[in-house]
Amino acid sequence: MREFAVIGMGLVFGLVNFLGVIGLRNQELPVGWQNFYRMGKVLTDPQFEGAVIACRKPLLLHVVSGRRCAHYRWGAPDEVIRGLEEDGVTHVLAANIGYSADHNYLVPTIRAHPTRFHPIVPQFLHPGGEAVLFRFTKGDGG
């Protein structure tokens, strides 16, 4: 009898989850996610062929852009830089998608090493939804 209760609860939670997803399909994504998606579309341009892009959500960006994507390290700016170099990163996407990692790790790294990050795609400006694509320079930034 206990097994039926567990299965029944699982079915109820699954149904509630499914109905929630159906309800969301007619709503717009938050602005930050819209800009993340737009930047992924920008990356489909042939000029980015062979690029390796570091961002907060690399799997999602890969699905949209078709480009190789990597996660940046969470640590002090020098640790983030070391990870970008070890992963062969050529570009970095900083996007305000509702997680604190960009604000806590990526933005401080860009500020600490401004000669290593060169904005190349115009910023999508929407309150709370900024997204900037940078070219990442290896070595001393030259």
- Do residues 134 and 110 lie in contact, with contact meaning Cβ atoms separated by under 8 Å? yes
Query: Tokens 């939804």 belong to which residue?
Result: 129
Q: Which long-range contacts (CB under 8 A, 24 or more apart) does 81-85 make?
A: 81/109, 81/113, 81/116, 84/54, 84/136, 85/138
Neighbours of 29 (CB within 10 A): 13
* DSSP assignment of 10-74: HHHHHHHHHHHHHHHTTSPPPHHHHHHHHHHHHTTSGGGTT-EEEES-HHHHHHHH-SEEEEPP-
DSSP state of 138: P
DSSP state of 88: T
Query: Tokens 């039926």 belong to which residue?
Result: 4
With a cut of 90, say whether residue 81 has pLDDT above it.
yes
With a cut of 70, say whether residue 105 has pLDDT above it.
yes
More confident call, 10 vs 87? 87
What 3-state class would DSSP assign to 4? helix
Would the pTM count as exceeding 0.95? no
With a cut of 70, say whether residue 7 has pLDDT above it.
no
Q: What are phi and psi of 54, to 5 degrees?
A: -95, 135
Angle, alpha carbons 34-38-40 (nearest 5°): 120
**pLDDT at position 26:** 54
pLDDT digit string (tens) for 18-54? 444 445 555 788 888 888 898 999 999 999 999 999 9
Domains of the chain, each with CATH number or no CATH: 30-136 (3.40.190)
